[in-house]
Structure 1
Amino acid sequence: MGKKSILIILLLTFVVEIFGWSGHEAYTYLVVKSLDFDMDKLIEIKPYTYKESRVYNAKFYYTDDFAGQRKFFDPLGDGKFPPDPVPVDGKLPAWQILTIYAQFPDFGMDEELNLSPLQALIGNSQGVRHMRYKLGIIEAFEGDKSFLYFVNMSQEAFSKNDSYWGYRFLSYALHYMEDLFQPYHETPGSFWEVLASLMDKKVKNLLNNAHYTYDNYLLYLIYYSKHSDEIRNLIENTPARRIPSNNEALINEVMMYGYSKFPQVHGELKKAFKGILTERIPEIDDFKRLEAEGKLEGLYKVTKDIIVTMTGTIKAFLNGYLPRYVEYKQ
């Protein structure tokens, strides 16, 4: 049996539901509200009139507008952040479209589909579109293509003077870019951990629960942490960074960055949540307790680095994108 076959068998052990960072809407809100554009510009809600080349789970591919309904928002934090006002005269501000729909790809549109024979590696179709795994010589899934697809859909909408769907498709693209900054969307664990997970259920549980835990950590930092004010200010004040002008090169850079941060994140996560990850996914009270005990400082430091790079990248992307497709300038 060749090395590639062995790696495929190893990945077959990871039958999990894959999401991305929790708190997409809050994070994206902080990013777009800090841009040097008039994000309060009112946009008329337009009907969905697009023929797409992708298939979705039609039960969950909503095309109506649900601004102001909060039916898809969790009751998080102080219950006031991010805001979600009711549209006025059939219009809502640009920032609101980007904010509320940034979480939309996690609502089920990519689930229960037959997208690729490789989805057997993780047991669901959601991960096919939200991740880009690299483990040894294996590279699988299409999170990068998801980003590029919705950038193109956004461009198509703006070219038709349909700013509503231009922004809405753009918010979907931002979701996938944000997902690819999450290191567990690039690899499930070290080679030897994945190998050990074949025979040791505790190792398998650890890797699965570590992914969920780090998904939840961004949400925890924004809403509940003693560092929440610092993190919100950091996201608002991080400047745009230099990025490739080509979108394919850009998303490849994002994926390689997420992959490069995996060893640090994984090591800090295992150290901080030792004894918990093999049994369950930590709850908010676990985060609070460990933070109070000073055991999350290493994880916080590396995550701050990721947040700075992610934020600087997204701001730079939007600074380059919006002037080409939107009437107003900086």
Structure 2
Amino acid sequence: MIKYFFVLCTLTFLSLAFAWSGHEALTYLIVQDLPIKNRMVKITDYSYEENRIYNQDYLVVKDVSGERAFFDPLGDGKFPPDPSPIDGFMLPVWQILTIYSPEPDNGMDEGLQLDFLQGLIGNSQGVRHMKYNLGFINAFQGDTSFIYFVEMSRQAFKQGDRYWGYRFLARALHYAEDLSQPYHNAPGETGEVLWGIVDGNTRKILKNLHFLYDNYLVYLIYYSDDAARETILGSKPAFLGDERQVINSIMNFARSKFEVVHFELKKAFGDLLKTNVEMKEISQIDNKGELYILKGETLSILSYTASVIKGFLLHFLKEVGEIN
């Protein structure tokens, strides 16, 4: 068991730099219809004592709206929008949630000493952004990252600080979105993980599979047809309870999709998985009609995730007085 756990973590380390890409677009589409009482928010300074450590070289607490500071250079570079603050100090709710949802991938969780597990995986980023629950293995902190920032958001709203209430909430959404990615819940099938003990090619392929599926979401939202956008926009809120129930439901659904997603990626991309698959190659294989099952499963993940997050947001924002 100890040996298997070590191998699992070693393989995980190969994927730590990766997460669902396109957080900004995914969040933007999810939060379009929030019935906020006062949609404009005054920018405020950060004034919080936290029990969570960050890499201070990358932590940003000033407002960076209008700068696309955390956005990937995707698509036409204009979606989603990121205008400058109105009158220099006012932002709409959708913009705070959108522009700060990618923030945790910008380095604030890297280079830290969090717990003994990172001695096996070599990086603190994955500790905070993933959650493995495989048999006797219960590792990493992606779920508690989500819960932590929900509570920080709750505290900010109680203090009347709407700006940091929404900014902390944007960070919480990041971790929920990460855990909707099947590879954030499992690094591979058990046999592949064990074979990776002696086979470097298997380790490399598992890393590339994770990276590829991250980029496939980007492809669907930015470069494919409108199916992903319409699926997210059209999803109806699902009310599942408190933040613990919300994140558990997202993780459980992602885990239920791992096997089919993993199979379809390997079937469609084959030997291409020995290298990093580029966006043009995703497009070429999609145009051949080889990704229709993968697309359907991914759209189901997006639909479920969007529904659960929409329900969570409506419930939470009503609790803190932002919604009647």
Which bracket does the TM-score occupy, shorter chain normalised?
over 0.9
Q: 1:317 aligns with which of 312, 315, 322?
A: 312
Q: Which residue of 2 aligns with 1:58?
A: 56
CA-based RMSD: 1.4
* 8 Å Cα contact 2:70-2:100 kept in structure 1: no
* 8 Å Cα contact 2:28-2:97 kept in structure 1: yes
SS at match of 2:151: helix
Q: Residue 10 and residue 151 in structure 1: after superposition, are their counterparts in 2 closer, same or farther (change >3 A)? A: closer
Give TM-score scaled by structure 1 length.
Answer: 0.94
1:208 aligns with 2:207: yes
Q: How many Å separate the matches in 2 of 1:289 and 1:138?
A: 38
* 8 Å Cα contact 1:44-1:164 kept in structure 2: yes
* 8 Å Cα contact 1:19-1:130 kept in structure 2: no
Q: Which amino acid aligns with 1:283?
A: E
Taking only the aligned residue pairs, the percentage that are identical comes to 48
C-alpha displacement of 1:241: 1.8
Q: Which residue of 2 aligns with 1:292?
A: 287
Unaligned runs of 5+ in 1: none
C-alpha displacement of 1:66: 0.3
Give TM-score scaled by structure 2 length.
Answer: 0.96
Q: Which residue of 2 aligns with 1:143?
A: 142
Q: Which residue of 2 aligns with 1:230?
A: 227
* 8 Å Cα contact 2:235-2:306 kept in structure 1: yes
CA deviations 1:192-222 (Å, max 9, x no partner) are 0001111111111110110111111111100
Q: Which residue of 1 aligns with 2:321?
A: 326
SS at match of 2:67: coil
Alignment of 1:261-300 (within 5 A): 261-277=257-273, 279-300=274-295
* 8 Å Cα contact 2:7-2:194 kept in structure 1: no
Q: Which residue of 1 aligns with 2:79?
A: 81
Alignment of 1:182-261 (within 5 A): 182-225=181-224, 227=225, 229-243=226-240, 245-261=241-257
Alignment of 1:155-194 (within 5 A): 155-194=154-193
Q: Residue 85 and residue 249 in structure 1: after superposition, are their counterparts in 2 closer, same or farther (change >3 A)? A: same
CA deviations 1:109-142 (Å, max 9, x no partner) are 0000010110133221000000001333211001
SS at match of 2:102: helix
SS at match of 1:274: helix
Count of paired positions: 322
SS at match of 1:211: helix
C-alpha displacement of 1:9: 3.4
